């Protein structure tokens, strides 16, 4: 069902010196399934992350945030599928801690130097002992050229593994950026997690890396919507191993590196939407002429979250009044709708508060029949813009989410 999304060619995924990946079958929820990923990081590594704002954040999120804040060098990331360890209270924190301790023993570091991540069903106890038992296999599998297997190991109901890679030249030499991700909360309720991990071998200072993870998240993972929720486990983590010896410190170098990380993150984020549950269309929502980025995003999300707009996209029905109604509903009290222009791809659909006289319904039907198209609204009240990527709402979405546990 994924919209124009192929599995990555393993040869296109460049290893990142200083980062090794190992996968194993721990039997978290189902037997004979790669459900455990261990990432070992070199001693010079710097790590930064952004996490879900859901107040019911999962136990591993609590621990990962705490360990990141402690400023002890992070040596490993451990990710399991099959169980989100969310809605599990204090017991969940204790179980996630057992996993970190297991990793620490296996790799010879402190438990506080391990970041845990979980994805899968909510409100079930994490089988920490099975994960710990599975660690030996993951350690034995640790390799730098293991990104394709890692992308597969973190899949839950994703239909296609998601990975991307770039190499760019900084002043001090070439560096690599490689990342993997799995499907987003809105798409996969119980598998309640959007997880993204991107690593580079550039050497980046802590503060700069923290800015990079926030800024690149805002241009990628924070620009997607499948059904509007934020899961209990969402996380995006950026690792700078420093193993290339190439320092990214100057403004120019950081800009080049940010561009490469953004490209990888956007590919991963878009892949999540393309693989959205039941998705048959990939839609870019572009809002221009807003007074601020924030209000431009608000309008974009009002369109992207509207079930009415999304069912019309699914039906290829150019029922464009639904888009106008969503824009009018975005909470901008002083929006002058008579100044707004609405485009479907390059076709001017609405202006002066109503349908444009030259617009013909066949044009709208033609645009919406395509698997990918752009909805562009110009608010004409400022200079700010925002882009959001989303998918349609299909029978299949309801089917998957209604029957998920059966």
Counting contacts by CB under 8 A, is residue 401 touching a copy of itself? Answer: yes
Taking CB under 8 A as the rule, does residue 190 contact a copy of itself? yes
Residue 215: alpha-carbon gap to chain centroid: 14
Does residue 326 touch a copy of itself according to CB under 8 A?
A: yes
Q: Which of 6, 89, 251, 346 binds a copy of itself (CB under 8 A)?
A: 89
Phi, psi (rounded to 5 degrees) for 231: -75, 175
- Please give the backbone phi and psi of residue 292, each rounded to the nearest 5 degrees, phi first: -150, 160
- In whole angstroms, the minimum distance from the beta carbon of 261 to a copy of itself comes to 27
Q: What are 82's two structure tokens?
A: 């099959």
Give residue for tokens 């705490």. Answer: 66
Q: Running DSSP on this structure, what letter comes out for residue 219?
A: T
> Could you identify the residue written with the tokens 């709208």?
364
**306 near a copy of itself, rule: CB under 8 A:** yes
Say whether residue 322 binds a copy of itself (CB under 8 A): yes
Q: Which of 138, 335, 367, 391 binds a copy of itself (CB under 8 A)?
A: 335
Among 173, 228, 245, 371, binds a copy of itself (CB under 8 A): 228
Number of C-alpha atoms within 13 angstroms, CB side, residue 125?
Answer: 9
Site for a copy of itself in 229-268 (CB under 8 A): 229-232
What length does the chain have?
Answer: 406
Q: Is 87 in the site for a copy of itself (CB under 8 A)?
A: yes
Q: Nearest-5° angle of CA 134, CA 138, CA 140?
A: 115
193 is known as an active-site residue = yes
Is residue 108 a contact residue for a copy of itself (CB under 8 A)?
A: no
Would you say 142 and 37 are in contact if contact means Cβ atoms under 8 Å apart?
Answer: no
Give the interface segment with a copy of itself, choosing from 47-55, 95-103, 266-274, 370-378 (CB under 8 A): 47-55
For the bound state, the minimum distance from the C-beta of residue 72 to a copy of itself, rounded and expressed in Å, comes to 27
> What does the alpha-carbon distance between residue 325 and residue 312 come to, in Å, rounded to a whole number?
13
- Rounded to a whole number of angstroms, the minimum distance from the CB of residue 86 to a copy of itself is 7
* 317 sits near a copy of itself (criterion: CB under 8 A): yes
Residue 185 vs residues 7, 154, 273, 321, 378: alpha-carbon distances, Å: 21, 14, 11, 29, 30
Q: Residue 120: left (phi > 0), alpha (psi -120 to 50), or beta? A: left
Beta strand 341-344 pairing with 19-24: unpaired
Spatial distance between the Cα atoms of 58 and 192, rounded to a whole number of angstroms:
10
Q: Active-site residue among 193, 216, 232, 262?
A: 193
For residue 167, give the nearest of 254, 257, 243 by alpha carbon.
257
Min separation Cβ 51 and a copy of itself, Å: 13
User: Which of these ranges, 6-14, 170-178, 262-270, 350-358, lies near a copy of itself under the rule CB under 8 A?
Assistant: 350-358
Decide if residue 350 touches a copy of itself (CB under 8 A): yes
What's the min distance (Å) between Cβ of 232 and a copy of itself?
A: 5
In the complex with a copy of itself, the residue whose CB is nearer, 110 or 325, is 325
The stretch among 74-82, 128-136, 199-207, 321-329 that binds a copy of itself (CB under 8 A) is: 321-329
Element (H, E) at 135: helix 128-140
Q: Closest by alpha carbon to 179, among 370, 31, 15?
A: 15
Q: What 3-state DSSP class applies to 148?
A: helix
Angle between helical axes of 321-328 and 293-305 (0-180°, round to 10)? 130
The stretch among 140-148, 172-180, 236-244, 319-327 that binds a copy of itself (CB under 8 A) is 319-327
Size of the site for a copy of itself (CB under 8 A): 69
Q: Which is nearer to a copy of itself, 252 or 365 (CB)?
A: 365
Verify binding: residue 329, a copy of itself, rule CB under 8 A.
yes
Using alpha carbons, select from 284, 276, 275 the residue that is nearest to residue 223.
Answer: 284
92 part of the interface to a copy of itself, by CB under 8 A: yes
Q: Does 355 bind a copy of itself (CB under 8 A)?
A: yes
Q: Which residues bind a copy of itself (CB under 8 A)?
A: 53-57, 84, 86-92, 121-123, 185-186, 189-190, 192, 227-232, 305-308, 311-312, 314-315, 317, 319-322, 324-330, 332-333, 335, 337-338, 350, 352-355, 393-395, 397-399, 401-406
Please give the positions annotated as active site: 193
């Amino acid at each position: 069902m994924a919209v124009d999304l192929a599995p990555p060619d393993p040869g296109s995924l460049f290893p990142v010196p200083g980062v090794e990946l190992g996968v194993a079958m721990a039997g978290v929820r189902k037997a004979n399934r790669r459900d455990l990923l261990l990432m070992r990081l070199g001693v010079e590594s710097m790590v930064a992350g952004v996490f879900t704002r859901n107040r019911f954040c999962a136990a591993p999120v609590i621990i990962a945030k705490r360990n990141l804040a402690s400023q002890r060098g992070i040596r490993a990331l451990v990710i399991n599928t099959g169980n989100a360890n969310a809605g599990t209270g204090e017991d969940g924190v204790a179980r996630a801690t057992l996993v970190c301790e297991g990793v620490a023993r296996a790799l010879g570091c402190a438990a506080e130097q391990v970041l845990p991540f979980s994805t899968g069903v909510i409100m079930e106890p994490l089988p920490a002992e099975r994960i710990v038992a599975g660690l030996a296999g993951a350690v034995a599998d640790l390799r730098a050229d293991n990104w394709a297997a890692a992308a597969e190991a973190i899949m839950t109901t994703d239909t296609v593994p998601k990975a991307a890679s770039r190499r760019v030249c900084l002043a001090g030499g070439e560096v690599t950026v490689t990342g993997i991700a799995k499907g987003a909360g809105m798409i996969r309720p119980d598998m309640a997690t959007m997880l993204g991990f991107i690593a580079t071998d550039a050497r980046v200072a802590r503060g700069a890396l923290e800015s990079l993870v926030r800024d690149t998240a805002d241009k990628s993972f924070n620009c997607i919507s499948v059904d509007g929720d934020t899961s209990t486990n969402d996380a995006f983590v950026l690792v700078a191993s420093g193993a290339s010896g190439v320092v990214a410190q100057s403004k120019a170098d950081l800009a080049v590196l940010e561009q490469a990380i953004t490209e990888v993150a956007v590919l991963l984020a878009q892949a999540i939407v393309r693989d959205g549950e039941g998705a048959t269309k990939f839609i870019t929502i572009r809002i221009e002429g807003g007074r601020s980025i924030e209000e431009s995003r608000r309008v974009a999300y009002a369109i992207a979250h509207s079930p009415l707009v999304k069912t019309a996209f699914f039906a290829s029905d150019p029922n464009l009044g639904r888009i106008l109604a969503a824009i009018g509903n975005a909470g901008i009290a002083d929006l002058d709708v008579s100044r707004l222009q609405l485009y479907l791809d390059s076709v001017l659909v609405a202006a002066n508060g109503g349908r444009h006289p030259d617009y013909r319904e066949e044009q709208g039907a033609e645009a919406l029949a395509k698997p990918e198209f752009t909805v562009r609204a110009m608010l004409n009240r400022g200079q700010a813009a925002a882009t959001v990527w989303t998918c349609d709402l299909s029978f299949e979405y309801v089917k998957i989410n209604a029957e998920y546990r059966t």
